[in-house]
A and B are shown apart, each in its own frame.
Chain A
Amino acid sequence: MIRSVPRSRLFDGLYLAYLVAFFVYLALPLLVTAVFAFNDAPFPSLPWKGFSLDWFFADGSEGRTGLFHDDGLLTALWVSGKIAFWVTLVSVALGCVNAVLFERVQFRGKEFLYLFMLLPLVIPGVILGVSILVFYSGMANDVSAAWGIELDLFRPGMTLVVMGQVAFIATLSTLVIAARLRKFDPQLEEAALNLGATPLVAWFTVTLPWLLPSIFGAAAMAFLMSFENFNTTVMLTGSDTPLTVALFNRLREGSTPVLNAVALMLMVGSALLALLVMGRSSR
């Protein structure tokens, strides 16, 4: 089964067929979604009625509203963008601090705390969302009932969504940044200190530049995960629905090629972000 062990032709042929089938399985749903964004028909299904850009640009005058004229979707996109921005900022900052804490500092109980750091990975996203809803929204209810103070911040809405997403995305960004910091040679930092730099200057001129690729990687990952998250978000969202929740609601009403158009834009956006990060890190 390895290169140096002889294999039969039949085995090789079957293996190849399996590989091809696997990648077709991976690509097919996305390909189909993308292609039907251009179908000139009111439903994303066969037969093919011809190529059209209506589902992106139609302004609603002929009964079709394209993505770029659909206020509901555009607002949702903006909400998702804001949420993802804050989640990225907080998770990456937390990730940097946690990475230093777990890779460079020795203290009692470190192993124990490290397990807590990993904990959000083994909690289902729905439960993370629900528990934050119960705690903060319940608190807002209690405070309102007892003292008449309205803590609107802790009602379902953007703040809670950001908190819920940070709860697990921070673990992932910590792991990404810590993996890079582990490969850092502490002697470089010591050299900077010996040459008269203060610890803070050494950190910003030596360690941080070393971490930068992983920080970009973690930021891109955090942004995508936040943008695409549904399970945690759906429990915490208020009246300002983010894109995934808005799409889900549309999908339950019935599918139109506008959804395909949004899906295609999302795929292209993620692909560009991923390429950007890979391009940076390979330089």
Chain B
Amino acid sequence: MKSSVSRLSLWLLLTPFLLWIVLLVLLPHLQMLRVSFQVRESWDTIAWGVEQYQNFFTESYYWRTFVRTGVMSLFTTFLTLLIAFPIAWYIARLARGRSKGILFLACLIPFWASELVRTYGWMILLRESGLFSSWLQALGWADGPVEMLYNDVAVIVGLVYNGLLFMVVPLVTTLDGMDENLVEAGYDLGGGHGTVLREIVVPWAMPGIVSGCIVVFMLTLGSYLTPILMGGKDSAWFTEQIFTQFITRFNWEQGAALGVLLLVLSSVIVWLGLKISGQSLRKVMG
């Protein structure tokens, strides 16, 4: 009797979970995979084939954007880590009492605004008629309006800005739990700043580093607003192409294939990151 009751409650708890995962995540992605292998021969006949994937490799525009998006996302992630680490270190180890909490909250403030608002703010600052341009002219450092928007640097500035919170929070969390005696011992044993950082601090912070990097990389790779609004004519982003195929051209088959490729890229890089750092998804995310 008891076991049948617990069986029943297990199924009651399991059903919503399964409905969610199967109906909203698994089936849609399997269908996307299936559609990506469909070749439309005429308006109502469909064959199977790899035409969409061939298009991807033969049209240089596709795979160039793909590689560019991947490389720029990796670079952005790395840059975000470099910028965020000293901040996280200060908040976790050097700040005391109230200032610690206030600084931590200050890191969260930009994320009370949506990505669109943040990007808009950067546009107001960077564009030709923007604030930086006006200030440069007022200071006499520039003769005419300076266009700082619509290039790759602007895109990276915006992307780093979007990712910072997701890097700072896991770093602060792991660094907070570190025993300072370890660092002292490192110095006592004759280690310099570099050695202590490499041999003690970074290994300790690894779960935080990996989890921050995964989230920032995913966000950057999948971002759409920042590259579109801040990038120039040559700074295409891969999500933009997926969007174009689906919404503008109604070419779902091609769009699905590009979607699958983006998903494969992100999964492979996340998996590699976990393998190289010796972490597991459960440990860094859950």
Contact = CB atoms under 8 A, between A and B. Distances in A.
* Residue in B108, B110, B117 with the greatest tally of chain A CB atoms within 10 Å: B117
A179 to B, nearest CB: 9
Contact of B13 (A97, A124, A227, A255): A97
A134 B21 CA distance: 16
Contact of A274 (B112, B122, B180, B255): B112
Contact of B25 (A43, A119, A235): A119
* Residue in B127, B263, B267 with the greatest tally of chain A CB atoms within 10 Å: B263
Nearest to A130: B259
* Residue in B86, B107, B196, B285 with the greatest tally of chain A CB atoms within 10 Å: B285
B167 interface: no
Given A26-B107, A251-B229, A131 B31 contact: yes
B161 A29 contact: yes
B120 A33 contact: yes
Contacts of B127: 45
Interface residues of A, number: 84
A135 B31 contact: yes
A130 B246 contact: yes
Nearest to A227: B114
B129 A45 contact: yes
Nearest to B160: A25
Interface string B27-62: 111011001000000000000000000000000000
A180 to B, nearest CB: 14
Interface residues of B, number: 84
Given A30-B109, A45-B131, A101-B13, A235 B247 contact: yes
A94 B20 contact: yes
B124 A36 contact: yes
Interface stretch (A51-59, A162-170, A189-197): A162-170
Given A30-B121, A46-B134, A121-B218, A266 B113 contact: yes
A117 B21 contact: yes
Interface string B154-189: 000000010010000000000000001001100100
A248 B215 CA distance: 24
B94 to A, nearest CB: 6
A10 interface: no
B140 interface: no
B145 to A, nearest CB: 10
B17 A94 contact: yes
A130 B120 contact: no
B67 interface: no
Given A126-B243, A127-B242, A267-B117, 19 more contacts: A1-B193, A1-B196, A2-B93, A15-B90, A22-B87, A29-B110, A30-B118, A33-B120, A45-B129, A97-B16, A111-B282, A114-B286, A126-B224, A126-B242, A130-B256, A135-B32, A166-B20, A228-B113, A235-B246
16 contacts: A1-B196, A5-B187, A22-B87, A27-B109, A101-B17, A113-B21, A115-B282, A123-B263, A123-B266, A130-B256, A131-B29, A131-B31, A134-B32, A230-B115, A247-B116, A248-B225
Top 6 A-B pairs, shortest CB-CB distance: A124-B222, A29-B121, A228-B114, A131-B28, A270-B112, A135-B28
